[in-house]
């Protein structure tokens, strides 16, 4: 066998890195699109942001109590 017949290990790693990078970019894009969709008027993220602007301390208390209840379960 010659070196020309077998691919170099560093080439394989470069290909793997490129594939993983493309996958991460695709996932980030999908998540970004989902967030943008959720921010549209009437969607959950829009409602949540409006509620936190109106009563930030109340939302903080609610989040704390929910977190505490969930932590107790586990």
For residue range 25-72, list pLDDT tens digits in order.
999 999 999 999 988 998 988 888 887 787 778 778 888 999 899 888
- CA dihedral 57→61→44→25, nearest 10 degrees, is 100
What ranges in 1-74 are assigned the alpha helix state H?
A: 9-38, 44-54, 56-73
Please report the pLDDT score of residue 45 as a whole number: 86
Q: Where are the domains of the chain?
A: 9-73
Q: Specify the pTM.
A: 0.52
Which residues lie below 8 Å from residue 39, measured CB to CB, with a gap of 6+? 45, 46, 49
- If 0-12 CB within 10 Å is exposed, 13-18 middle and 19+ buried, where does residue 45 land? middle
């Amino acid at each position: 066998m010659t070196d020309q017949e077998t691919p170099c290990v560093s080439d394989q790693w470069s290909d793997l890195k490129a594939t993983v990078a493309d996958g991460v970019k695709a996932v980030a894009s999908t998540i970004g699109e989902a967030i943008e969709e959720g921010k549209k008027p009437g969607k959950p993220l829009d409602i949540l942001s409006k509620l936190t602007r109106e009563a930030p301390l109340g939302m903080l208390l609610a989040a704390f109590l929910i977190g505490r209840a969930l932590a107790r379960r586990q």
